[in-house]
Amino acid sequence: MRKNRPQATKPQRPPINEMSYDELAAWIRTTRVALHKKKARERTYIDRRAARGTHTPTDEAYEADQPLLADLIAFLDEMEASLEVEALHGA
């Protein structure tokens, strides 16, 4: 029997290579803000539960996600910097 697997959600943005400079810059900014909020929200959740002595597999998953979120935020920082350099050089 086949298990029902959740379908990957389709991005609610056009493909990156089809975005204008302004669209891509705005997407980077809004996505970075959202990831910062998600990272902070999950950190607060983990810390609050740890203070109560509660620990579940969900806590472990959120803890494991923290470095990934930080890496994605850093990647967006690098994308934005690269985009700005390209814009300055007319690429």
Q: How many domains does the chain fold into?
A: 1
In a domain, 28, yes or no: yes
In a domain, 75, yes or no: yes
Nearest CA to 77 among 22, 41, 31? Answer: 31
In a domain, 64, yes or no: yes
d(CA 3, CA 13): 29
Whether pLDDT at 17 is above 70: yes
d(CA 82, CA 75): 10
Helices (H), 21-56: 21-51
Determine the 3-state secondary structure of 12 from DSSP.
Answer: coil
**pLDDT confidence band for 87 (50 / 70 / 90):** confident
- Specify the pLDDT at position 88: 86
In a domain, 48, yes or no: yes
Whether pLDDT at 9 is above 90: no
What type of residue is 72? L
What pTM did the predictor assign?
A: 0.82
> Do 80 and 33 contact (CB within 8 A), yes or no?
no
In a domain, 40, yes or no: yes
In a domain, 3, yes or no: no
In a domain, 25, yes or no: yes
The better pLDDT of the pair 89, 67 is held by 67
Q: What phi, psi does 22 have (nearest 5°)?
A: -65, -40
Domain residues for the domain of 43 are: 19-89
